[in-house]
Structure 1
Amino acid sequence: MASRPLIKPTNSIKNDSGSELENSIAALATVMSDVSRVKMLCALMDGRAWTATELSVVADIASSTASAHLSRLLNENFIICVAQGRHRYYRLKGIETAELLEVLMGASWKQVEPFTNKTPIALRKARTCYDHLAGEIAVNIYEFMLINKWIDIEGQSLTVQGKQQFEKLGIALDEKTTRKKCSACLDWSERKYHLGGYAGAALFTHFERKGWISRVNGFREVLVTYQGEKALKRLFNIVV
């Protein structure tokens, strides 16, 4: 059975008080109104698949309660369930869900004057944003790319020079990808942009393959290796 989108397309909007768009938005808000479900979704922002037991621990709730929340998230298309043998794993539905969560994180982290960043230092330095890199290092990479004209001023596409630089790094970009090729993703802890979209995911994968970064199992935290520190300095003039 085909899955339905998180928000229905505008051409299905009704003109009466029973607008499908408004009802869909209200349904999303209802799902996000429960703290336990939000904790599960935030855990899944590391881009990995989690078991129901692991998610129940993260949310600090009983397994039976976790099952009910997971069913709700499945029904509302926030997550998918992947069966592997006798085990079942849960992960975010896709990049659109991750982008929605990242925006909500930014909107929820209210700005005060003077702004005091209360994000844990480890997460602030580098973390996953679903399938691309976020945090201070990612923001610095984005600013380097912007200054050196690897990306356009809006961060919506790689320039010719940017594509050439990706090729020099050994990153093969699929021009036929149906995913948004490049995007400026607002970093909720830094209040600046980092590189998202297909290009951001490709860069993250390249960093992992090179052994420049490593993920902390079970968390969004990303560690930069010694080789990674040298590479960031050489390629992007970033001192970790």
Structure 2
Amino acid sequence: MDVQPKVAATAFLIADAARAAMLMALADGRALPAGELAYAAGVTAQTASSHLAKLLDGGLLSVEKEGRHRYYRLADAQVAALLENLATIAARTPVRRKPHGREARTLRVARCCYDHLAGQVGVAITQQLMERGFLAAGSDKRFEVTPTGTQFFGDLGIDVATLRPGKHGIARQCLDWTERQHHLAGPLGAKFMSTLCDNGWLMRSPSSRAVQVTPRGWAQLYETLGVRMSVVDEA
């Protein structure tokens, strides 16, 4: 099967600045109405409607109806991974940038990458999981969970054996677009972040992709993985 036309069509959809902004606004896994996506892209409601229709037709978005309202989300985690990888590639090109604002610095520290933890904290945690022998780099962008890793996640309340594997198994290496290093993704990454939130270690922002590490979270991250607050670089 010739996939070149599909690749070209997908690239065309993402290449538009307004559509790219809408897609990135959905990269934390939330579903948003057209009005919020129009605001994120800096376009009118009519223009946003046209862009959203194209993204739906192209298979990059899905839509859910709730009463009179329509909520849009990324079609799946593969679309989120594509956006993260494209952001990594684009960031290699030197450009003139304004000084990072407070929101940009916050997102670099810790943020949602679709359904898992990214940013400086996500990378630091993943590095410690590998250094302590809980995860091992595998082929095809996989992380292999070791027997000691199974025990570690089990102590947190995560039964690794019950996780449903995705395309890259239960644990995937996701290249962090700000840190240029891998963080933990896949079903295990999603369950890990939700568990840390449930345990009060992390707190998600209700209005953005930002994630905050709580005081309890910093204490527990240091106790269990040796991750200190000093991993955060506000520069």
Q: What TM-score, normalized to structure 1? A: 0.86
Does the 8 A contact of 1:215 with 1:223 survive in 2?
yes
Query: 141, 146, 151: which one pairs with 1:159?
Result: 146
Unaligned runs of 5+ in 2: 230-235
User: How many pairs were matched up?
Assistant: 218
Amino acid at match of 1:165: F
Q: Which residue is 1:42 aligned to? A: 24
The residue identity in structure 2 corresponding to 1:218 is: S
Equivalent runs, 1:1-240 vs 2, <5 Å: 13=1, 20-110=2-92, 120-154=104-138, 155-175=142-162, 177-179=164-166, 180-240=169-229
Q: 1:7-43 CA distances to partner (integer Å, 9 max, x unpaired)?
A: xxxxxx2xxxxxx311111001110110000000001
SS in 2 for 1:223: strand
Quick one: which amino acid aligns to residue 202 of structure 1? Answer: K
Identity %: 35
* Distance in 2 separating the partners of 1:94 and 1:29: 17
TM-score, normalization by structure 2:
0.88
Structure 1: gaps of 5 or more residues:
1-12, 14-19
Report the RMSD for the aligned CA atoms in angstroms: 1.7
**Structure 1 residue 106: Cα displacement:** 0.6
Query: Which AA in structure 2 matches 1:88?
Result: R
| One-letter amino acid matched to 1:168 | D
Give the Cα separation in 1 of the matches to 2:153 and 2:163: 16
Shift of 1:174: 4.6
Query: Is the 2:163–2:187 Cα contact (8 Å) retained in structure 1?
Result: no
Please identify runs of 4+ aligned residues in structure 1 that moved more than 6 A. none
Which whole-Å CA distance do the structure 2 matches of 1:205 and 1:83 have between them?
A: 25
CA distance in 2 between counterparts of 1:178 and 1:72 reads: 31
Instruction: Tell me how far 1:216 sits from its aligned partner.
Output: 1.6
Deviation at 1:111, TM superposition (A): 5.8
Deviation at 1:186, TM superposition (A): 0.6
